[in-house]
Amino acid sequence: MAVLFKSTWDSAARWRAELSRFIPDIDIRVWPEYGEPDDITFAVVWGMPPGEFPKFRRLRGIASLGAGVDHLMRLPDLPAGVPVTRLVDPGMTAEMSEYVVLQVLRFHRRLPEYAGFQAMAKWQPLPRADTPSTRVSILGLGVLGQDAAAKLKLLGFKVAGWSRSAKEIAGVETFHGAGGLTAMLATTDILVNLLPLTADTQDIVNADLLAKLPQGAAFVNCARGRHVVDADLLAALDSGQIRGAALDVFRDEPLAADHPYWRHPKVLVTPHVAAATNPVTAAPQVAENILRAARGEPLLNVVDMATGY
Ligand code: NDP
Ligand code: OXD
């Protein structure tokens, strides 16, 4: 009974140390040095290449090393019938809300313009809207979207959110479905994306969606780059339909050195750091799932394979 560990970014040594606190005799095999494939009964992964999973015929569970599972769902050979879990981690949730609040306040208090003025030694106060009349809308009202909504609400913003199923959240105006999206966009000053990447949400931030926002809205993307049609966003920034974008995630990462986002005066680029996976806060639930899988019990935070998130 061994656990396969594979990650593009996370440290195997740190994960081994944290998981050992809950399972002292854990046998972790770090990809690609995993030994006998039939020893592997659980996989903890980010960025597994195609062609690997079919080798592990005794797998009882696959844990994503992130909240998103699109890196797994796109694999053509994800083993059928093996439960896939995602991270639902209070540490990661708090970090994401920090990022969202930071970017919303940045646009609200017009810091991008003041940064431009400073470069010219220009002293020029700008008008701005009151906080209670500034409308922040969130695409995705899941674990991360709901926490960000609550924190923006505490700051006094008018908060709305959009999800697949209908929701009631105190103090948040909620929308769902295609009609709901159009209605929400029409009353949005700052749009935040916290959707999972699925077949239904890929390319959702396109020319059509951006045109439904009031002119001069701002956009924050901390979900996935493939939600955005880059050429459409760049056109909306250049026309002034969108006044600025804070982008943490990109279609291809790392973002190519010659990508127009890097040098666009209305774009802030951060390198997929909105909310990092922290083994200290995330290991307890992964350890719990390894133990549950070993006992043949249902796992926590299992992904719905039909919806893809
Ligand atoms: P959840 O699964 O908890 O929430 C997803 C939300 O999106 C739900 O409200 C869901 O609706 C909604 N949704 C899904 N599909 C649709 C659709 N077709 N139309 C409308 N709404 C839809 O995810 P999390 O909040 O935990 O995470 C969201 C994403 O954030 C992750 O998938 C990942 O891509 C990204 N992320 C980025 C990080 C970064 O550092 N940049 C770090 C962590 C996560 P419903 O409630 O009805 O199911
Ligand atoms: C995640 C991420 O999905 O870091 O957790 O992007």
Q: Is the CB of 194 under 6 A from ligand 1?
A: yes
pLDDT at position 118: 98
pLDDT tens for 36-84 read 999 999 999 999 999 999 999 999 999 999 999 999 999 999 999 999 9
Residue 217's Cβ-side half-sphere holds a number of Cα atoms within 13 Å equal to: 23
Q: Whose CA is nearest to atom 4 of ligand 2?
A: 66
Tell me the backbone φ, ψ of residue 4, rounded to 5 degrees: -85, 130
Predicted TM-score (pTM) of the model is 0.98
Mutate to test the pocket of ligand 1, among 64, 73, 144 (most ligand atoms within 8 A of CB): 144
Annotated catalytic residue 224: yes
Low-confidence spans in the chain with pLDDT less than 70: none
In angstroms, the CA 21 to CA 305 distance is 31
**Rounded to the nearest whole angstrom, what is the distance from the C-alpha of residue 120 to the centroid of ligand 1?**
40
Residues 6+ apart with CB under 8 A from 235: 207
Catalytic residue selected from 251, 259, 264, 272 = 272
Residues 6+ apart with CB under 8 A from 245: 218, 219, 220, 221, 233, 237, 266, 267, 268
Closest C-alpha among 206, 186, 190, 112 to residue 148: 190
CA angle, residues 97, 229, 246, in degrees to nearest 5: 30
Catalytic residue selected from 29, 224, 226, 243 = 224
Mutate to test the pocket of ligand 2, among 46, 95, 277 (most ligand atoms within 8 A of CB): 277
Q: Is the CB of 66 under 6 A from ligand 2?
A: yes
Q: Which atom of ligand 1 is nearest to the CA of 275?
A: 40
Distance (Å) of CA 254 to CA 46, 167, 229:
15, 35, 17
pLDDT at position 166: 98
Annotated catalytic residue 176: no
* DSSP three-state, residue 285: helix
Mutate to test the pocket of ligand 1, among 163, 184, 302 (most ligand atoms within 8 A of CB): 163
Q: Which atom of ligand 1 is nearest to the CA of 277?
A: 42
pLDDT at position 15: 97
Q: Is the CB of 192 under 6 A from ligand 1?
A: no
* DSSP three-state, residue 111: helix
pLDDT tens for 175-201 read 999 999 999 999 999 999 999 999 999
**Rounded to the nearest whole angstrom, what is the distance from the C-alpha of residue 86 to the centroid of ligand 2?**
10
Tokens of 232: 């459409």
pLDDT at position 1: 86
